[in-house]
Structure 1
Amino acid sequence: MIVYSNTISGFNHDVDQGIIAEKVHNELNQKGFYNSINEIRSWENSLFYMKNVLYSPSINQDLNIAIEYNIPNTSKRVDFLISGYTYTENPIVLIIELKQWEKAERTSREDIVTTYLGGSNRAVTHPSYQAYSYAKTISNFNSYIGDNNIEIKPSAYLHNYKEEYRSELENDLYTPIIKKAPIFLKKDTIKLREFISSNVKKSDQGKLLYEIDHGKIRPSKALQDAISSMLSGNDEFYMIDEQKVVFSTVKTLVEKAIINEEKYTILVEGGPGTGKSVVAINLLAEFRHKIVNYVTKNSAPRSVYFDILRKDKYSLNYIKNLFKGSGSYFNSSKNEYDLLIVDEAHRLNEKSGLFANMGENQIKEIINASKVSVFFIDEDQIVTTKDFGSINEIKKQAKELGSMIFYGEDYNLTSQFRCNGSDGYLAFLDDLLQIRDTANYDGFDGDYDIKLYTSPTEMKEDLKKLNEINNKSRIVSGYTFDWVSKSNNDIDVFDIELKDDFKAKWNFSNTQTWAIDKDSFDQVGCIHTSQGLEFDYVGVIIGKDLVYRDNKVITDYTKRAKTDQSLKGIKKNNNFVLADKIIRNTYRTLMTRGQKGCYIYCEDENLSKYIEFRLNKVLKKNN
């Protein structure tokens, strides 16, 4: 999605008239994107400097430009693009990332610098890396670019940057990435002009930008589909911004820890779809030749990875040495592993073993066993009373074991890479489920397909058609239906029976790879078999444990299935606040499994009417 486009001469005119920032602001608002007063001021500043660069006889004033291009399937936007043809008539698009930085400082971390942002010094990606990663992501997602051999050439322009700090950004440490994406500072206006004029000569009449903006978007890669290639050393996901900061930080710490026999613990926070698992698997691939494990309590993603890797001829022994359950370390010796990567750390249990009678504390045991331990955590995805993982507990155990803790804003993953890249969708869900009040009461940015059904059968039929495309659509449900089929294999016995003759069995009686099995669509998944995985489209059955009464969304833990162990001990301990949190978290997690869309059916008619009212506001806002 392009927010503003024009010829260079038209853009220059809007800048001269003092209306460029207003136009960008209005276009973003119309498309459902919130922008702050600081963002408006940054456009006024940066776009004035770009006008000074472009207003030159050496640059064709009929070339087309675009401002604030939203990268498909992400919440990221490219600042400035210029399109046209080279001297040899080849199509080309320049990406120019605009920064208002006055200074920055080098770091020892790959492609990472520090600069003053948001009231403090922050670790961020080098501007050249940011521009390069955006260019590669656009190329990966946009079919038109690949099919038509369009060159995407990234660069960065820091128009306020002070000359005395040039060596910090142009240090030899960053030479490889600067070669891929040149950087231009305050005194480099003429160099930037030459870069533009030497690369783009002839106007394309806006055709390239139009086709890129309206061209076919390649299907988003699911992590499970790319894992084999990643473990072979291939780049499948170009980590963006804070993802790269986390990756480079961990990489540096592992290298230091191996040499110096030191201990480090890194806490990485991030909501659903922010790329926690992508960073985790990239780290696993990076250190696959070291003593490293990818650790999850939840067996579903491990089973899916196992199945895919086995099909790609990886040996079972190799896979088992890479992927482990969280209860594998109570007998491990100190610093036995170079790196333990703990995904879904909020799902860790206190003790290990089938009867919780082994070991002392899983968090303590993991930190003890590794030189470097990385915990990817989202406390809003705690979904059972046994979920023990918390930021405070990890910090406590790291301190007691003498492991240096890395935690804070630099290690927060905030950008959305699922749900068609809509950051606002998660905030909308929090407001919808009344987990917390947000600014997204009436909708969210981006193009995410969310639908409400009054018939579960109709929802299933629509999802089945989508699933026939690539086997990446599934139905999931809150655990409000007894697992009858566990002890009765009769073909006519069903666990879930709803109106309109909807009948289905729970999935986990016969497979751990329901999420990718070719014949599993008719079965319904639950939180335990879908958390940590993703689909193109997900259908969510909201059971009677979530209802709408007296203008409030309320939970009822007594409506959970008798076979459900998620709320075990709630009544005995009178911990009804925790039960409420678990039920809301469960549906929030289920409703964020879809990359492209979420379809909803509610058993409670009042809840269905409430959600319908809220979705009508979304439609009204987006139209």
Structure 2
Amino acid sequence: MPVSKTAYELREELQHERIVIELAKHVGVTYKASEQHGEIGSWRRSLPVLAEMLCAAGLGHVQVLLEYRLPYSPKRVDAILCGVHPETKSPSYVLVELKQWSDAKTVGTGLVKARGGRRQPDLHPAEQVRRYCRQLLDFVPAFARVPGQVKGIAYMHNAVRDAEWTLDEFEYDDFGQLYTSDLQGDLLSDLWSVLDADPATAGAAMAAAHELISAPPAPARNLLKTAADAFVARDDFVLLDEQQVAYKTVLDAVAEAESDGENKRKKVVVVNGGPGSGKSAIAVTLLAALARQKRKALHATGSRAFTETLRDKVAGDEERSGEIFKYFNEFRREPADALDVLICDEAHRVRGMPAHLHGKVRSQIDELIEVAKVPLFLLDEHQVVRPGEIGTKTDIISIAEGKGCEVVEISLDGQYRCGGSAKFDEWVVRMLGLGSEPPVVWSELVEGSEDEYVVDSAGSPHELESWLLRQAKTFSGTARMAAGFCWEWHDPVTVDGELRLLDDVQIGGWRRPWNARQGFEVPGVPSASLWASEPEGFGQVGCIYTAQGFEYDWAGAIFGDDLVIRNGEWVARRDFSFDGSVNKAEPVRFDRLVRNTYKVLMTRGMQGVCVYSTDDETNDFIRKFAR
């Protein structure tokens, strides 16, 4: 739960540091009395300003929710003021984004750079809080029905507007307003218009805060359904923070590419983020926006399942619309700058094998950069799962700079899959030994936090399957099982005149088929491309090539004998892999690829995961850390 205080209580506790200690525990950061940077430093500098202002304005009785985490998102609102509307007497909420910037400059549409801030641009503060409001309304249905209850403001309490001030070149609305220290009078007038200053409303303000804290959030909208809406109903994702920065950066680069400026260089945008950080949401939203602008834009991936699913779910029966979804290897003979934008989704799957064109040998990255005025690469280096995939940030930047391009790098630090749990991604990385930190018990990692992601393990495949069925029935949602490529995969056979899948995945007496192979139509079974999205997919076991790029509510991940624990260390064993391309890789490369494979399988679930290994020693290890 977020930390909740009246403004009077907040002012009092800030004098004794108690509130800072409580906030540090709430968000999971280490409290240090001498810390002057990061979140602790921000609380010490910004919260006293907010508390003093509210108390001086006669709003000391208003409830202040601090570090409120938005539903289905890792993002937190600095403060939400909860009170009563002076006219309607109904609950009223003001989302507040506190900025310590003393100055900032506009650098693009809705983008700013703060003095002494980061190298990459930030979202305009009013746009940031506007999108937080929209996210709240999207996932708290009770508020969505009465949007007038919610208001958003950004407060740059160290800034004073001057003759060079450019941030007001922005279209403000009730969800997104910006105030500086010299506009505090206007800010107070705004607050008084939506928060009753009568101290007698203190009880109602507390009830309003409780209503927000206890409001059940609606499930996150499925990527594919929203993608379809983006083209049919023109309804986009709500992109937050760095996601929106990436989106705006591409649109600005497109506009710049059409300008007549001298010595203009092609911009290559590289967006790096972990599983569920919003890369595909950016891709689909951009594609919809560019389509509405009648730009020449295409979407490309290296995944047949992902591409065909987008063609089916987004384009539907519209064959021409389906043509916007291509593969990386389809641009070899296209002229330079034939497209306005090429969106390279899952760019970690770009192949390293050279291609021949007009007597020249070029890498696939070179081809993708060449064909578009603005190439966009969306990648996660931990999802490279096959030899020959070279879509690392270093590779892309090196080739782009070698071609004389300007590279814009953007990092996505959020986690929107897995219930918005950044801690779960950390847990997976640590358990698989993909980082420098040792494995950690899940319950200990999330102790004291608001993290609600479900992590469990099973003693058998029967238990894992039962767990998935129980979770899907009890808490609703989709469930899928996926496994390492440790069993042969046969074509379906004909039985009584109909094709049927063979039970290739056999663990003791438990037997299940792989999902259907590409090119086969098996009655009652979805195609390989639609295994993750069609309801009938639960009866089969998916593999890395049908699971990667997709999401479902409840994930079952089965470790095979290609990656086991021996004496507390992971050991990759190529002799147990049936993936013909991966098991030919050199030992060090095979080890990394197989670990990345299981990371992908474990991070498909939006609400929870259950993990099982066919190897007893490995399963004991998993069960120890999945508690």
Q: Does 1:463 align with 2:456?
A: no
Map of 2:574 onto structure 1: 557
Opposite residue 479 of structure 1, the aligned amino acid is F
- Structure 1 window deviating more from structure 2 (441-450 vs 154-163): it is 441-450
Runs of 4+ in structure 1 deviating by more than 6 angstroms, as ranges, are 487-490
Tell whether the 8 Å contact from 2:491 to 2:501 is kept in structure 1 after alignment: no
Deviations 1:400-421 (A, max 9, x none): 44433223xxx11111111111
Opposite residue 5 of structure 1, the aligned amino acid is S
TM-score by length of 1: 0.89
- Structure 1 window deviating more from structure 2 (583-592 vs 444-453): it is 444-453
Q: Find the residue that maps to 1:338 and give its secondary structure.
A: strand
Specify whether residues 441 and 515 from structure 1 end up closer, same or farther in structure 2 by C-alpha distance, changes over 3 A only: same
Tell whether the 8 Å contact from 1:104 to 1:116 is kept in structure 2 after alignment: yes
CA RMSD of aligned residues (A): 2.5
Q: Find the residue that maps to 1:251 and give its secondary structure.
A: helix
Q: Find the residue that maps to 1:516 and give its secondary structure.
A: coil
Map of 1:621 onto structure 2: none
Opposite residue 125 of structure 1, the aligned amino acid is L
Specify whether residues 291 and 98 from structure 1 end up closer, same or farther in structure 2 by C-alpha distance, changes over 3 A only: same
CA distance in 1, matches of 2:469, 2:315: 28
Map of 1:160 onto structure 2: 158
Map of 1:265 onto structure 2: 268
CA distance in 1, matches of 2:65, 2:612: 40
Aligned equivalent of 2:348, options 346, 349, 366? 346
Specify whether residues 317 and 235 from structure 1 end up closer, same or farther in structure 2 by C-alpha distance, changes over 3 A only: closer
Tell whether the 8 Å contact from 2:226 to 2:235 is kept in structure 1 after alignment: no
Deviations 1:8-54 (A, max 9, x none): 332233234453323323444xxx45567322222122111112211
Map of 2:534 onto structure 1: 517
Specify whether residues 165 and 525 from structure 1 end up closer, same or farther in structure 2 by C-alpha distance, changes over 3 A only: farther
Deviations 1:240-287 (A, max 9, x none): 111111111110111121344863211111111111111111111111
Any residues of structure 2 matched to 1:360-379 within 5 Å, and which? 360-379=362-381
Displacement of 1:612: 1.7
Any residues of structure 2 matched to 1:574-613 within 5 Å, and which? 575-613=586-624
CA distance in 2, matches of 1:491, 1:249: 49
Aligned equivalent of 1:279, options 261, 264, 282? 282
Map of 2:478 onto structure 1: 472
Map of 2:182 onto structure 1: 187
Aligned-pair identity in percent equals 25
- Structure 1 window deviating more from structure 2 (8-17 vs 88-97): it is 8-17
Aligned equivalent of 2:515, options 506, 510, 513? 506
Q: Find the residue that maps to 2:626 and give its secondary structure.
A: helix
Deviations 1:552-572 (A, max 9, x none): 1221121101xx2331532xx
Aligned equivalent of 1:537, options 546, 549, 554? 554
Map of 2:523 onto structure 1: none
CA distance in 2, matches of 1:614, 1:465: 22
Q: Find the residue that maps to 2:166 and give its secondary structure.
A: helix
Tell whether the 8 Å contact from 1:330 to 1:359 is kept in structure 2 after alignment: no
Specify whether residues 368 and 163 from structure 1 end up closer, same or farther in structure 2 by C-alpha distance, changes over 3 A only: closer
Displacement of 1:448: 0.8
Q: Does 1:21 align with 2:38?
A: no
CA distance in 2, matches of 1:331, 1:419: 40
Q: Does 1:306 align with 2:297?
A: no
Any residues of structure 2 matched to 1:368-407 within 5 Å, and which? 368-407=370-409
CA distance in 1, matches of 2:421, 2:234: 27
Q: Does 1:130 align with 2:135?
A: no
Opposite residue 382 of structure 1, the aligned amino acid is V
Gaps of 5+ in 1: 617-623
Tell whether the 8 Å contact from 2:315 to 2:321 is kept in structure 1 after alignment: no
Tell whether the 8 Å contact from 1:450 to 1:597 is kept in structure 2 after alignment: yes
Map of 2:237 onto structure 1: 237
CA distance in 2, matches of 1:62, 1:392: 53
Q: Find the residue that maps to 2:159 and give its secondary structure.
A: coil
Opposite residue 19 of structure 1, the aligned amino acid is R
Map of 2:543 onto structure 1: 526
Displacement of 1:147: 5.0
Q: Find the residue that maps to 1:327 and give its secondary structure.
A: helix
TM-score by length of 2: 0.88
CA distance in 2, matches of 1:263, 1:18: 50
- Structure 1 window deviating more from structure 2 (43-52 vs 496-505): it is 496-505
